[in-house]
Amino acid sequence: MLLLSVLLPPRFTPERVKRDRRYRTLDKYRFIAGFLALPLAFYAVFVISPFLQAIYYSFTDWDGGATADFVGLDNYRKLWNDDRFWDSAKTSVSLLVAAPVITLSLGIFFAYMITAGGRHRRGQAVAGVVGSSFYKVVYFFPQVLSIAIVAVVWMRVFSTRSGLLNGSLGAVGLDGLEKPWLGGDYNLALFATLTVLCWSFVGFYVVLFSAAMGAIPRDLYEAALLDGAGRATTFFKVTLPLIWDTVRTGWIYMGIQALDAFAIVLVMVPDHALKVTPVFLYQRFREGQFGYATAIGVVLLVFSVVFSLIIMRVGNRDRIEY
């Protein structure tokens, strides 16, 4: 320390250097705090505040009026003993399990074919199928449509009397396969809802996974081909491990979409055929049971958070750098 004090000019003493470093660190944090202050304020007002209000109202008997009496856990006890809620929860969980598996599997398959599933071409060891850019547009097309429009279109497809599906089956002599898809049978209505849900979102995951696969260095694919790996081996040993983080994120997002399914069921499926938890919540709002409805919303929030944490935990693996 004495040697440094002798060698360094007075204005560059170790104490001065430490003090300047501390001031620079404080200036950096002040800049970050100032830059984030306004966005965080908006987020607190328009996102955090409604969540906190919903949690508060879930402990009241609020009916939409000016007053809301605190009732403790009465709404949650009522929810626990409500068979209609458990019926709707069973449907939502069924969609939660099936929709991500089907949608992500189709998205990964189509993305792989578009990115690396084509024949080898001159100068390209790895290439997508012919017309891959056109297929991306076609697959993504449902994403530009309103979900309400999608539900109306598919309601006409599944219509019992004049629907495209039953009409096509009858036209080719398969009259025995004609079904009242939305006419009251729970399993058929669940199948129809699952079909529309997967069709609506598979294009988004095709584009998402195509972007992730496009970031993989071609050298890895070429090395795998030189070692004699086929398409299946290349996919499971190279592609899937390298896009696993994207798949895990997509699984969480698709699970939340499956838990919702509000507009599809509300518009397309009759009330007596199928109910999901968001539709059950909406009906309680229409009846003026706002406190009870917000309790259902809080349960959905907790379930979504738990689901996300489980997927992040179960799907966690060592990150592969390339």
Instruction: Write the pLDDT tens digit of every residue in 14-72.
Output: 666 566 666 666 667 777 777 788 888 898 899 899 889 889 999 998 877 777 888 88
Q: What are the C-alpha distances in Å from 15 to residues 3, 19, 29?
A: 14, 6, 21
pTM over 0.75: yes
3-state secondary structure of 124: strand
237: which residues sit within 8 A by CB, 6+ positions away? 224, 229
* Percentage, residues of the chain above pLDDT 70: 85
Arithmetic mean of pLDDT, 124-136: 69
**What's the pLDDT score for residue 36?**
83
pLDDT at 195 over 90: yes
Identify the CATH homologous superfamily for domain 76-314: MetI-like (1.10.3720.10)
Q: At 315, is the pLDDT very low, low, confident or very high (cuts 50, 70, 90)?
A: low
Arithmetic mean of pLDDT, 146-162: 87
* Percentage, residues of the chain above pLDDT 90: 30
pLDDT at 133 over 70: yes
3-state secondary structure of 92: helix
**What's the pLDDT score for residue 76?**
93
- The CA distance from 246 to 262, in Å, is 26
CA 168 to chain centre: 33
**What's the pLDDT score for residue 297?**
92
Cβ atoms within 10 A of the Cβ of 53, count?
11
